[in-house]
Chain A
């Protein structure tokens, strides 16, 4: 079954204060979704709400978001890695075979045994995304991935999105400033901001 996330009358925000409302729509895996809007418009808040890290102020999300249970994985704009190596970080979500496969997919094979504190921002970002992908989520929510990635990183990320959309295996929602950050066909969710 093709995964999908349905939003209905969704109002998002922090601590009961609304930041944005999102039109009712179904986020399918047949295309990538890009959330755009100015700073403070609620892009990250929307992704965190979809991941179940923030409760919606109003409206519903189906399936019900719950961190770790709904299959929605959120990747921060600033990569959050644990102490250790790229391999030990990928091992959080993948077995030995999965590590090799996801490392190859994101060009991390040569970096696997490097301590994370020695990595550039771009490699950290790739590791962070690869670790989330290795969880095999039904919904991948990535906050401003393009910021830290170099050309090669963007290429690998776009390739992953392209093949995932073709296979309709995962709902991909990306927050970005540019409407077309991936170089692949996307559907835009524009948040107007204040």
Chain B
């Protein structure tokens, strides 16, 4: 075990091109998915927060429930949609990074929406009243109110990133673990574990943890500074 660990460190320090490329693919897919989910989820949460109490309660329950959907279920559902006989089969997206991004987008969206929505509903009503009475235009009103929940937005994005960056089910079903194309750190760990290549499994694990911590640290610093 000790020898495997040192071999893993040697692989990383030696700039194992394969491992670093896989790390890049993982990061690329997850960052695009989370940014896309934030672009859709944050305004969606804002719009939902402006609706009647009954709608807000339903939206919170629904978004919370969908955060619990297993990654393999999302992967499988999208697989049937994107497969050759599926409704979007003509797009030939299956086993591409775009398909993985779509799967991770669907995993990240409910997390970002749920956290933002809960945070927006906890804002004092005086804030909404103030921006309404000051006749702030709608888009600027949204920006001002979202500015008040910025720490929660950072948490939402980090939670979503943590979920998608470390998920395996959707990545393996939609990406197919193609070397140099759709292989991510989690799918590589699964593959190398089956092969019994312990140093590569450990090296991938170290990279996965390192990147996850680095992204969290960076986003947290940005969030607290602002």
The one of A48, A52, A84, A132 in contact with B134, judged by C-beta atoms closer than 8 angstroms, is A132
Q: Are A67 and B133 in contact (CB under 8 A)?
A: yes
Whole-angstrom CA separation of A84 from B129 in the bound complex: 19
Q: Are A68 and B148 in contact (CB under 8 A)?
A: no
Q: Say whether A1 faces chain B, with CB atoms less than 8 Å apart.
A: no
Q: Are A76 and B126 in contact (CB under 8 A)?
A: yes
Residues of A in contact (CB 8 Å), total 21
Which residues, 9 to 53 on A, are CB-close (under 8 Å) to B?
Answer: 48, 51-53
The one of B129, B133, B144 in contact with A82, judged by C-beta atoms closer than 8 angstroms, is B144
- Interface of chain B: mostly helix, strand, loop or mixed: helix
Which residues, 106 to 150 on B, are CB-close (under 8 Å) to A?
Answer: 124, 126-127, 129-136, 140, 144, 147-148, 150
The one of A52, A72, A80 in contact with B126, judged by C-beta atoms closer than 8 angstroms, is A80
Q: Are A74 and B147 in contact (CB under 8 A)?
A: no
- On chain A, the residues within 8 Å of B150 by CB distance are 83
A16 to chain B, nearest CB (A): 16
- On chain A, the residues within 8 Å of B133 by CB distance are 51-53, 67-68, 72-74, 132
- On chain B, the residues within 8 Å of A73 by CB distance are 133-135
Q: Are A82 and B126 in contact (CB under 8 A)?
A: no
B-side residues, CB < 8 A to A, are 124, 126-127, 129-136, 140, 144, 147-148, 150
CB pairs A–B below 8 angstroms (8 shown): A48-B129, A67-B132, A68-B132, A68-B133, A80-B127, A84-B147, A93-B136, A131-B134
